[in-house]
Structure 1
Amino acid sequence: MQHPHPPRHRTRGHRLLGGIRRWATAAAGALALTAGLAAAGPQASAASLTQVTGFGTNPGNLSMYAYVPDHLPTGAPLVVALHGCTQSASDYSSHSGWPKFADSQRFALVFPQTSSANNANSCFNWFEAGDSGRGHGEALSIRQMVDKAITQYGSDPRRVYITGLSAGGGMTANLLAAYPDVFAGGSIASGLPARCAEDLTAAYTCMYSPPDRTPAQWGDLVRSAAPAGTTSWPRVAIWQGTADTTVRPANATELRDQWTNVWGLGQTPSRTRSLTGGTTLTSYDDASGRPAVQVYSISGMAHGLAVDPGSGAEQCGTSGTYYLDTICSSLHTARFWGLDGDGGGDGGTGVLPAPTGLTVTAATDSSVGLRWNAVSGAASYRVFRDGAKVAITTSTTYTDTGLATGTAYGYTVAAVDSSGATGATGAAVTATTTGFTPTCHTASNYAHTTAGRAYASGGYTYAKGSDQAMGLWNTFTTHTLQQTSPGHYVLADSGCPA
């Protein structure tokens, strides 16, 4: 992102900052909270992306754009997507890949847009308390867009999600904290912890060297922003490149600490596995075994949104400035939210009860066998692995194949009635494949902690499992770690066996 210029004067009473902040504004021109996310590329057509007006009092002076697939049924999910600095709704729509999945998985998209009238670099003002808190400024404008979309498109108010890149990611975190009663899930790409900053100077600190607060301190910032008595929280995905020099990878660790604490979870992963594009996925499950927080760490990726151009089922988006060809983050985020399971990821919208008796019947190096009790009235069953739908079957047994060796997976099952409505999701079981293939990872201490291979304590880094000291927790100290068993890493700087 471009460095977060302070907001410009606008009719709702914001004033230009003076003195030291004028100096900081000039310095900020060389910096980047979305590091100048001025992406060149194809623009979405007017027929695809439509401006919507009359969505409320709009105290944040934002514009609303929507992408709504033809013949979208009532009760479909809604996804709100926030662009980065110097970007626009059209730019983000055409590069991010979200419209592809809105079409295939049937949900509506809203793209809020800010402008240079609000901020010199067209950043969402995530670092301004008057714009990022509940009932105020830009945050309230986005809340009003959600209300408009629910009314106009018949979206399901229980299945509203929000995602954002860089400054949009920072605003996403703040909105998840301020409106946990509105958003069922969020995805923060190259972003910042909720309420990390409330002025321009603190914004730079968060970007380059975020405060090393305890999980409880980070969690308290969310709890204090939410309505009193909140007990239900959004499920949060965190996307971060290990080579990001604009929003440092330590932010992903602090985000992980913040949202696992909000959920009442520890910081020890439920499981870690490898995805395409050099991506490591670390999951933190709730009491039912469903992922509540997931961290996607992309080895060697700089600042930007992860896309994977191409026509394949798991590809999306177009590459450009700060749209980086690695992995389709929109697909994996949609899966995490359960959008590919007709609501199955959120417990379903049908009336059938959850299947009982889910058990693991077998496990090999690459497969897991499952069995569960039949549900009266079920026409089929949806099987979910780590929150993502992997199969639809009419049987009460299923064998999941093509899995990694020595890896733990979480499974749930939901019944589907004859109309196609998915019922409640049953209790989760964990299955671990047999065998183990050692792997080696060379990265900075920040990257190792973000990927779940190490942990930070008192400013120092230690290998997960072996607890070997790795030195200072920063982006300058590099080590090679060998994973010798699930969740266990040892230093291997002198050489790592193939």
Structure 2
Amino acid sequence: MPLRPAAAALLTAAALAIGTAAPVPVPAPAPAPAPAPAPTVAPATADTVSGTFQQVTGFGANPGNLAMYSYTPAGLPSGAPLVVALHGCLQTANDYYRNSGWTTFADRYGFAVVFPQTSSANNSLSCFSWFDATKDSRGVGEAESVVEMVTKAKALYGSDDRRVFVTGLSAGGGMASDLLADYPDVFAGGAIDSGLPAQCATTQGAASGCQNSDQGLTPAQWGDKVRAAYPGYAGPWPRVAIWQGSADTVVRPVNATELRDQWTDVQGVGQRPTSTRSLPGGTTEEVYADTGGRPAVALFTVAGMGHGLAVNPGSAADQCGATGSYFLNTICSSYYTAQFWGLDGGTGPTNPGLPAPTGLTATPTGQGSIALAWQAVSGAASYQVYRNGAMAGSATGPSFTDTGLAPGTSYGYTVAAVDPSGAVGTRSAAVTATTGGGAAQCFTDSNYNQVRAGRATQSGGLTYALGSGQSMGLWNTFVTHTLKQTGPGYFVLADGQC
């Protein structure tokens, strides 16, 4: 019996993702087609973080049957931005938290991150349903669940509702694109990584065509799909970053062209870039600015990259993330996306020629103070010090002591040099330190009870220490570990140490 088109599309995508020679028929009904990355293998190490990663329950109406996880830097002030980050197929919120690099910049620039999670109960490959009009449209399904999470996060963290952004990989990128069209009144900007145009497919049968071929639409026709998602909305429209590997065979590069056509038309700008530059990892950035010269759309093409999220592990200011299945070592896309959105406090460094300080160290000097030191930068007249992304003070030389801090609390720091004209250079790599005076507590219990007590999280049947994200093994009552609390909402494995 021949496969239905939807089943054939899924099998083709799955074969591309896992490298099988040919698809093998599966029983009907077929699962929904979507970009299908293979399961992520948790890396041995991840970016150093100073905040809290945890599941948030009771976030409101949940018609899409999603789970909400969030990451908040230590000492996050009210009025900070909020980023929503959507994982790819056969991935989890924890995978994206550990590998995508977004926590690095949440700590550095000071913003919260929400990681929505779908599951096999919604889709056999745990894909977000970017292709289903009953789930990805305004006011319904998964799209509505994500917006309920945004409302909850704003209530919990005091996030600035004018600076809410959404990003996603593959099927998550397709859903991010839909969310930007559905809720331009909620999201100030978005980033679509190896994803698809908004409302490209509204049925299962149309999904494969979107992934693999040119749809033959004009920019105006693509723009109409966005305008139809929220009829009557007149702007302002989100600014959109598009990331695409030139060798992607799961979501073909034509999707990036269609995304560019769609969002430049919505923004009312032409399809000819106003500026082009070369970036690391064989990446070309094309910027499409509005009439005021403000970047409205940016297209990042990574030469030779296949299907996945671009990361670049390391400690330099423009590096982030951890490699794994469909986390590809090329360039830190999260860094350039954060700058495109202005999360670094502006539109980017005002003096790119002024190097970032190196050798930054942070040493607790008491219950309420931390001493910082770094290597002097040639040409610097002074330095700006940032605590959890916000300005903590300035220094005339390569040292600074931060005072008035809470005891037993972790803080993240970066430093930037300032030239004689007052222009600020690139920020340094982040470091963290925990003030003294907070008595460390140890908790020995089963993984199941550690999760119930809020000291750990579980994802995909595995357990991870809250905050540090360290793997603890299976989520059950038979595996026991000791966790040490080293800061608010931050636990580390301490078997045999307490």
Query: Larger deviation: 43-52 or 145-154?
Result: 43-52
The within-5 A match list for 1:102-251 is 102-251=106-255
CA distance in 2, matches of 1:240, 1:23: 24
| Matched-pair contact (CA < 8 Å) for 1:40–1:320 | yes
Secondary structure of residue in 2 paired with 1:130: coil
Over 3 Å counting, the alpha-carbon distance change for 1:225 and 1:100 in structure 2 is: same
Q: Deviations over 1:247-301 (max 9, x none)?
A: 0001100000000000011111101110010000000001110110000000000
Give the total of aligned pairs.
340
In the TM superposition, residue 311 of structure 1 has moved relative to its aligned partner by 1.3
Instruction: State the partner residue of 2:35.
Output: 34
2:313 partner letter:
P
In the TM superposition, residue 25 of structure 1 has moved relative to its aligned partner by 5.7
| Matched-pair contact (CA < 8 Å) for 2:36–2:125 | no
In the TM superposition, residue 29 of structure 1 has moved relative to its aligned partner by 4.9
CA distance in 2, matches of 1:391, 1:133: 46
CA distance in 1, matches of 2:9, 2:288: 39
Identity percentage of aligned residues: 60
Over 3 Å counting, the alpha-carbon distance change for 1:69 and 1:132 in structure 2 is: same
Secondary structure of residue in 2 paired with 1:111: strand
In the TM superposition, residue 177 of structure 1 has moved relative to its aligned partner by 0.3
Instruction: State the partner residue of 1:68.
Output: 72
2:135 partner letter:
D
| Matched-pair contact (CA < 8 Å) for 1:62–1:115 | yes
- 1:256 matches 2:260: yes
TM-score (norm 2): 0.64
Which residue of 331, 335, 345 corresponds with 2:339? 335
2:221 partner letter:
Q
Instruction: State the partner residue of 2:88.
Output: 84
Q: Deviations over 1:28-64 (max 9, x none)?
A: 6545543333111238899732000011110000000
The within-5 A match list for 1:83-482 is 83-341=87-345, 344-345=346-347, 395=421
CA distance in 2, matches of 1:113, 1:294: 27
1:263 partner letter:
Q
Over 3 Å counting, the alpha-carbon distance change for 1:24 and 1:261 in structure 2 is: closer
Over 3 Å counting, the alpha-carbon distance change for 1:273 and 1:129 in structure 2 is: same
Q: Deviations over 1:60-87 (max 9, x none)?
A: 0000000001110000000000000000
CA distance in 1, matches of 2:226, 2:71: 30
Give the superposed CA RMSD: 2.6
Q: Which has the higher contact order (CA 8 A, sep 6+)?
A: 2
Over 3 Å counting, the alpha-carbon distance change for 1:325 and 1:232 in structure 2 is: same
Where in structure 1 do 4 or more consecutive aligned residues deviate above 2 Å? 18-37, 42-48, 390-396, 398-401
In the TM superposition, residue 314 of structure 1 has moved relative to its aligned partner by 1.0
In the TM superposition, residue 229 of structure 1 has moved relative to its aligned partner by 3.1
CA distance in 2, matches of 1:400, 1:270: 24
CA distance in 2, matches of 1:115, 1:122: 4
Over 3 Å counting, the alpha-carbon distance change for 1:24 and 1:203 in structure 2 is: closer
Query: Larger deviation: 63-72 or 41-50?
Result: 41-50
| Matched-pair contact (CA < 8 Å) for 2:196–2:256 | yes
2:206 partner letter:
A
2:252 partner letter:
R
Over 3 Å counting, the alpha-carbon distance change for 1:288 and 1:122 in structure 2 is: same
1:37 partner letter:
A
| Matched-pair contact (CA < 8 Å) for 2:43–2:323 | no
Gaps of 5+ in 1: 1-17, 347-378, 381-389, 402-498
Secondary structure of residue in 1 paired with 2:336: helix
1:290 partner letter:
R
CA distance in 1, matches of 2:233, 2:157: 30
Q: Deviations over 1:279-334 (max 9, x none)?
A: 00000001110110000000000000000011111110011111110000000000
In the TM superposition, residue 391 of structure 1 has moved relative to its aligned partner by 8.2
CA distance in 1, matches of 2:88, 2:58: 24
| Matched-pair contact (CA < 8 Å) for 1:42–1:91 | no
Q: Deviations over 1:163-221 (max 9, x none)?
A: 00000000000000000000000000000000100112211001010302100000000
1:189 partner letter:
D
CA distance in 2, matches of 1:318, 1:80: 19
Secondary structure of residue in 1 paired with 2:277: strand
Over 3 Å counting, the alpha-carbon distance change for 1:338 and 1:30 in structure 2 is: same
CA distance in 1, matches of 2:12, 2:265: 35
1:185 partner letter:
G
| Matched-pair contact (CA < 8 Å) for 1:212–1:254 | no
| Matched-pair contact (CA < 8 Å) for 1:190–1:241 | yes
| Matched-pair contact (CA < 8 Å) for 1:131–1:139 | yes
- 1:55 matches 2:59: yes
Gaps of 5+ in 2: 18-33, 349-392, 395-415, 427-498
Instruction: State the partner residue of 2:444.
Output: none
Q: Deviations over 1:100-125 (max 9, x none)?
A: 11001000000000000000000000
1:144 partner letter:
E
CA distance in 1, matches of 2:61, 2:246: 40
| Matched-pair contact (CA < 8 Å) for 1:178–1:227 | no
